[in-house]
Structure 1
Amino acid sequence: MKTSRLWIFLLLLLFPCYVWGQMTILHPINRLILQRNLSNQADLVITGYTNAAATKIEYQLVEIGKPAKGWNILATNVLNHEFSGKVKVNAGFYDLYVRAWVNNTIIDEKIIEQIGVGEVFVIAGQSNAMGVQGLGSKDASEKVIVINDLNKYLDEKDNLTIAPNTPMVMHKMERALANTNMYPSGESAWLWGELADKIVQKYQVPVFLLNCGWAAATSENWSKSANGELAFNQYVNKNWPNQQPYANFKNTLQYLASHTGLRAVLWMQGESDASHNQTSAQNYESNVKNVIEKSRQAFGYNMPWSIARSTVSSRNEWADLVIKGQNAILKNVPNTFAGPETDTIQNPRPIAHGHLENIKNGIQGLTLAATAWMRTMDTTFFKKAVPYQPQATLVPRLLPTHLPFGRNFAVYFQGSTSQNKTYRVELLDKDGKFVAQVGQGTNSPVTINIQNVSPLEVYRLRIVSEAPFLQSTLSNTFTLSGSWTPLNQFTLVEKTDSLHLSWSYVEAYAPTKITVQYSNNQQNFTDVYIENANSTLEGKWSVIRPKEVFAYYRLKLTLADGSVVYTDTKLVIDYSQVLGVENPSVSVKIFPNPASTFLTIQGVNEVKQLQVFSSNGQEIIDIKSNRVGEEYWVEFPETLQNGAYFLKLQLPNNQIIFSKVLIMK
Structure 2
Amino acid sequence: MKTSRLWIFLLLLSFPCYVWGQMTILHPINRLILQRNLSNQADLAITGYTNAAATKIEYQLVEIGKPAKGWQTLASNVLNREFSGKVKVNAGFYDLYVRAWVNNTIIDEKIIEQIGVGEVFLIAGQSNAMGVQGLGSKDASEKVIVINDLDKYLDEKDNLTIAPNEPMRLHKMERALANTNMYPSGESAWLWGELADKIVQKYQVPVFLLNCGWAAATSENWSKSANGELAYNQYVSKYWPNQQPYANLKNTLQYLASHTGLRAVLWMQGESDAAHNQTSAQNYEANVKNLIEKSRQVFGYNMPWSIARSTVSSRNEWADLVIKGQNAILKNVPNTFAGPETDTIQNPRPIAHGHLENVKNGIQGLTLAATAWMRTMDTTFFKKAIPYQPQTTLVPRLLPTHLPFGRNFAVYFQGVTSQNKTYRVELLDKDGKFVAQVGQGTNSPVTINIQNVSPLEVYRLRIVSEAPFLQSTLSNTFTLSGSWTPLNLFTLVEKSDSLHLSWSYVEAYSPTKITVQYSTNQQNFTDVYTENANSTLEGKWAVIRPKEVFAYYRLKLTLADGSVVYTDTKLVIDYSQVLGIENPSVSVKIFPNPASTYLTIQGVNDMRQLQIFSSNGQEIMDIKSNRVGEEYWVEFPETIQNGAYFLRLQLPNNQIIFSKVLIMK
When the two structures are superposed, what TM-score results if normalisation uses the length of structure 2?
0.92
Superposition deviation, residue 611 in structure 1: 13
Per-residue deviation, residues 547-587 of structure 1 (Å, max 9, x unmatched): 33322211111111111111111122233334325787999
Q: Distance in 1 between matches of 2:612 and 2:38?
A: 69
* Residues 1:603 and 1:352: Cα distance change in structure 2 (over 3 Å): closer
Q: Does 1:604 align with 2:635?
A: no
Residue in 2 that maps onto 1:311: 311
Superposition deviation, residue 529 in structure 1: 1.2
* Residues 1:648 and 1:555: Cα distance change in structure 2 (over 3 Å): farther
CA contact (8 A) 1:419 1:443 kept: no
CA contact (8 A) 2:16 2:105 kept: no
Superposition deviation, residue 545 in structure 1: 2.1
Tell me whether 204-213 or 565-574 shows the greater mean CA deviation: 565-574
* Residues 1:298 and 1:622: Cα distance change in structure 2 (over 3 Å): farther
* Residues 1:51 and 1:277: Cα distance change in structure 2 (over 3 Å): same
Residue in 2 that maps onto 1:365: 365
* Residues 1:530 and 1:321: Cα distance change in structure 2 (over 3 Å): same
Q: Distance in 1 between matches of 2:4 and 2:249?
A: 38
* Residues 1:631 and 1:394: Cα distance change in structure 2 (over 3 Å): same
* Residues 1:272 and 1:628: Cα distance change in structure 2 (over 3 Å): closer
Q: Distance in 1 between matches of 2:652 and 2:419?
A: 70
* Residues 1:580 and 1:433: Cα distance change in structure 2 (over 3 Å): same
Per-residue deviation, residues 4-54 of structure 1 (Å, max 9, x unmatched): 101111122222311111111100000000000000000000001111111
CA contact (8 A) 1:170 1:256 kept: yes
CA contact (8 A) 1:599 1:635 kept: yes
Q: Which secondary structure state, in structure 1, belongs to the residue aligned with residue 556 of structure 2? A: strand
Q: Distance in 2 between matches of 1:580 and 1:228?
A: 73
CA contact (8 A) 1:580 1:657 kept: no
Superposition deviation, residue 612 in structure 1: 12
Q: Distance in 2 between matches of 1:70 and 1:657?
A: 72
* Residues 1:416 and 1:320: Cα distance change in structure 2 (over 3 Å): same
* Residues 1:186 and 1:652: Cα distance change in structure 2 (over 3 Å): farther
Superposition deviation, residue 276 in structure 1: 0.6
Q: Distance in 1 between matches of 2:617 and 2:41?
A: 56
CA contact (8 A) 2:314 2:354 kept: no
Per-residue deviation, residues 301-357 of structure 1 (Å, max 9, x unmatched): 000000000001566550000000000000000000000000111111111111111
Tell me whether 538-547 or 406-415 shows the greater mean CA deviation: 538-547
Q: Distance in 1 between matches of 2:427 and 2:622?
A: 35
* Residues 1:573 and 1:222: Cα distance change in structure 2 (over 3 Å): same
Superposition deviation, residue 493 in structure 1: 1.6
Tell me whether 415-424 or 468-477 shows the greater mean CA deviation: 415-424
Superposition deviation, residue 496 in structure 1: 2.3
Tell me whether 359-368 or 399-408 shows the greater mean CA deviation: 359-368
Q: Distance in 2 between matches of 1:57 and 1:538?
A: 19
Q: Distance in 2 between matches of 1:90 and 1:501?
A: 47
Superposition deviation, residue 193 in structure 1: 0.4
Q: Distance in 2 between matches of 1:618 and 1:385?
A: 84
Per-residue deviation, residues 73-127 of structure 1 (Å, max 9, x unmatched): 1011111111100100000000000111111111111100000000000000000
CA contact (8 A) 1:571 1:616 kept: no
Q: Distance in 2 between matches of 1:379 and 1:614?
A: 85
Superposition deviation, residue 661 in structure 1: 8.2
Q: Which secondary structure state, in structure 1, belongs to the residue aligned with residue 585 of structure 2? A: coil
Tell me whether 642-651 or 140-149 shows the greater mean CA deviation: 642-651
Q: Distance in 1 between matches of 2:643 and 2:322?
A: 70
Per-residue deviation, residues 587-609 of structure 1 (Å, max 9, x unmatched): 97535789896435699999999
CA contact (8 A) 2:395 2:473 kept: yes
Tell me whether 611-620 or 73-82 shows the greater mean CA deviation: 611-620
Per-residue deviation, residues 188-216 of structure 1 (Å, max 9, x unmatched): 00000000000000000000000000000
Tell me whether 587-596 or 263-272 shows the greater mean CA deviation: 587-596
Q: Distance in 1 between matches of 2:143 and 2:60?
A: 20
Superposition deviation, residue 641 in structure 1: 16
Alignment length (residue pairs): 665
Per-residue deviation, residues 362-403 of structure 1 (Å, max 9, x unmatched): 111110000000000001000000000001110000000000
Let me know the Cα RMSD of the aligned residues: 4.5
Per-residue deviation, residues 467-490 of structure 1 (Å, max 9, x unmatched): 000010000000000000000011
Q: Distance in 2 between matches of 1:532 and 1:613?
A: 44
* Residues 1:564 and 1:40: Cα distance change in structure 2 (over 3 Å): same
Which aligned runs of 4 or more in structure 1 are off by greater than 4 angstroms? Answer: 313-317, 581-589, 591-598, 600-634, 636-665
Unaligned runs of 5+ in 2: none
Per-residue deviation, residues 416-457 of structure 1 (Å, max 9, x unmatched): 113521000000000111000000000000000000000000
CA contact (8 A) 1:98 1:111 kept: yes
Tell me whether 617-626 or 25-34 shows the greater mean CA deviation: 617-626
* Residues 1:494 and 1:597: Cα distance change in structure 2 (over 3 Å): closer
CA contact (8 A) 2:93 2:115 kept: yes
* Residues 1:295 and 1:531: Cα distance change in structure 2 (over 3 Å): same
Tell me whether 193-202 or 561-570 shows the greater mean CA deviation: 561-570
Q: Which secondary structure state, in structure 1, belongs to the residue aligned with residue 324 of structure 2? A: helix
Q: Which secondary structure state, in structure 1, belongs to the residue aligned with residue 329 of structure 2? A: helix
Q: Distance in 2 between matches of 1:494 and 1:381?
A: 67
* Residues 1:145 and 1:638: Cα distance change in structure 2 (over 3 Å): farther
CA contact (8 A) 1:579 1:658 kept: no
Q: Does 1:630 align with 2:650?
A: no
CA contact (8 A) 1:405 1:482 kept: yes
CA contact (8 A) 2:285 2:328 kept: yes
Superposition deviation, residue 499 in structure 1: 1.7
Superposition deviation, residue 650 in structure 1: 16
Q: Distance in 2 between matches of 1:512 and 1:608?
A: 61
CA contact (8 A) 1:184 1:210 kept: yes
CA contact (8 A) 1:570 1:616 kept: no
Tell me whether 506-515 or 314-323 shows the greater mean CA deviation: 314-323
Q: Distance in 1 between matches of 2:529 and 2:178?
A: 63
Q: Distance in 1 between matches of 2:616 and 2:270?
A: 65
Q: Distance in 1 between matches of 2:493 and 2:556?
A: 19
Tell me whether 483-492 or 15-24 shows the greater mean CA deviation: 15-24
Q: Distance in 2 between matches of 1:65 and 1:181?
A: 27
Superposition deviation, residue 495 in structure 1: 2.0
Q: Which secondary structure state, in structure 2, belongs to the residue aligned with residue 181 of structure 1? A: coil
* Residues 1:3 and 1:605: Cα distance change in structure 2 (over 3 Å): closer
Tell me whether 569-578 or 289-298 shows the greater mean CA deviation: 569-578
* Residues 1:643 and 1:582: Cα distance change in structure 2 (over 3 Å): closer
Q: Distance in 1 between matches of 2:94 and 2:419?
A: 36
Q: Distance in 2 between matches of 1:658 and 1:339?
A: 89
Tell me whether 630-639 or 364-373 shows the greater mean CA deviation: 630-639
Superposition deviation, residue 525 in structure 1: 1.7
* Residues 1:189 and 1:603: Cα distance change in structure 2 (over 3 Å): closer
Q: Which secondary structure state, in structure 2, belongs to the residue aligned with residue 371 of structure 1? A: helix
Tell me whether 249-258 or 568-577 shows the greater mean CA deviation: 568-577
Superposition deviation, residue 498 in structure 1: 1.9
Q: Distance in 2 between matches of 1:115 and 1:618?
A: 67
* Residues 1:26 and 1:234: Cα distance change in structure 2 (over 3 Å): same
* Residues 1:397 and 1:214: Cα distance change in structure 2 (over 3 Å): same
CA contact (8 A) 1:582 1:656 kept: no
Tell me whether 31-40 or 636-645 shows the greater mean CA deviation: 636-645
What is the percent sequence identity of the aligned residues? 94
CA contact (8 A) 1:571 1:617 kept: no
CA contact (8 A) 1:279 1:321 kept: yes
